[in-house]
Amino acid sequence: MSSVPRPFLKWAGGKAQLLSQFAPLYPGRVEKRRYIEPFLGSGAVFFQIWKLFRPSEVILADENEELINVYTAIRDDVEEVIRRLARHKASHSRDYYYRIRGRESRGLSRVARAARMIYLNKTCFNGLYRVNRQDRFNVPLGRYRKPPILDAENLRAVSRALQSADIRAAHFSETVAYARGGDFIYLDPPYHPRSRTSSFTSYTRASFRDSDQIELSEVYARLTRKGCLLMLSNSDTSFIRRLFRRHDIRKVQARRSINSRADRRGRISELVVLNYEPAGSTSHLPSSIGRSHGEGRLAVPPERVKDVRQDAGVSCGTGNRDRRGR
Ligand SMILES: C[S@@+](CC[C@H](N)C(=O)[O-])C[C@H]1O[C@@H](n2cnc3c(N)ncnc32)[C@H](O)[C@@H]1O
């Protein structure tokens, strides 16, 4: 009964490896705030926030409907998801994988769709989510000897954590329309590519373009004026630094994905953009995650960063206003 929920999907851009660096960057009083995550993916940050703070209200969203269906099915009918996943696990083979992959998800019940999605995610190549023009999942079988298809205890813990969550399939602009001053919002869009060929930016049929990154930066400025507390992650590119130059930009260190070229292995920096002064103290955190490995502040000198930690509901702009006054 007491197990702590963890991400149950493999997801490109998942933040599990960055959580120890994120923990000291959260704002104060998260337990009293509403928590909103418009780019949910595998929910690594939500599960950490849940474990540390149990925020009073939660809105979780992603544009990928197949993904959001998994979360709602687990919230509302976890035992049936587990039963169906156990059947997939018992039947797993190469032929079975391609048979299930070829099945149209639209004709299935909500729970059957969810179990299919988890099964394919756990057994496909690298946990990738990719669909063709007809919106059909087309990732080949991965090379695993014993893929961990079902962890029933964790799914039950996830279901308990989601009981009071408002879960939506939505474009980020719709999700943030619900934001009020004092809300804590974590934004993790698809990475801005470091090079033309480098990054995977498509989790749905539509890919995330530069124009979407610009729209998100405008949303960030608007929400800042509303008094929301914002944490955004993205790749460390000059384009992203320019978009968020009026905010507090910090670096975190991520592992590069495995690469056959030696010069592309090792660590790589990513950016976190804040519009508040983090609570900083890690005394509320378990010792295993209380230390920051970040490289410290960039771009915005400390004197430009105002402490915007205020009571929920009270406007708390950063002072780093958009110069066009929007
Ligand atoms: C980098 S991933 C988020 C990873 C997540 N933080 C985790 O730890 O797994 C980006 C997510 O944004 C979603 N997404 C892409 N375009 C979107 C949009 N326009 N609105 C909302 N979500 C979108 C994708 O489906 C994907 O799940």
**Ligand 1 close to Cβ of residue 192 (< 6 A):** no
- pLDDT at position 281, please? 52
Confidence class for position 2, pLDDT limits 50, 70, 90: low
Cβ(237)–Cβ(281) below 8 Å = no
Could you identify the atom of ligand 1 that is nearest to the CA of residue 173?
20
Per the prediction, the chain carries an average pLDDT of 84
Provide the token pair at 118: 């988890």
Ligand 1: distance of its center to the CA of 99 in Å? 28
In sequence order, the 6+-apart residues with CB closer than 8 A to the CB of 263 are: none
Distance of alpha carbon 133 from alpha carbon 49, whole angstroms: 36
Name the domain count of the chain. 2
pLDDT digits (tens, 9 = 90+) for 217-231: 999 999 999 999 999
Q: Are residues 175 and 291 in the same domain?
A: yes
Distance of alpha carbon 82 from alpha carbon 4, whole angstroms: 17
pLDDT digits (tens, 9 = 90+) for 230-243: 999 999 999 999 99
The answer to whether position 314 is within a domain reads: no
Q: Which long-range contacts (CB under 8 A, 24 or more apart) does 320-325 make?
A: 320/224, 320/246, 320/247, 320/248, 320/275, 321/221, 321/224, 321/225, 321/246, 322/221, 322/225, 322/246, 323/246
Confidence class for position 174, pLDDT limits 50, 70, 90: very high
Q: Are residues 49 and 144 in the same domain?
A: no
Q: Are residues 118 and 215 in the same domain?
A: no
| Integer angstrom CA distances of residue 297 from 10, 54, 228, 320 | 30, 28, 21, 16
Residue from 10, 187, 203 to probe ligand 1 pocket by mutation (most atoms less than 8 Å from CB): 203
Q: Which of 123, 155, 187 is the last residue of a domain?
A: 155
Q: Are residues 182 and 300 in the same domain?
A: yes
Q: Are residues 49 and 83 in the same domain?
A: no
The answer to whether position 299 is within a domain reads: yes
Q: Are residues 143 and 223 in the same domain?
A: no
Could you identify the atom of ligand 1 that is nearest to the CA of residue 191?
1
Using the predicted structure, report yes or no on whether residue 129 has a pLDDT greater than 90: no
pLDDT digits (tens, 9 = 90+) for 91-111: 999 999 999 999 988 889 999
The residue segments making up the domain with residue 103 are 68-155
The SS3 of residue 73 is: helix
Q: How many CA atoms lie within 13 A of 69 on its CB side?
A: 17
Confirm whether pTM is higher than 0.75: yes
Q: Are residues 190 and 151 in the same domain?
A: no
The answer to whether position 251 is within a domain reads: yes
Lowest mean pLDDT among 171-175, 207-211, 265-269: 265-269
The answer to whether position 4 is within a domain reads: no
The answer to whether position 201 is within a domain reads: yes
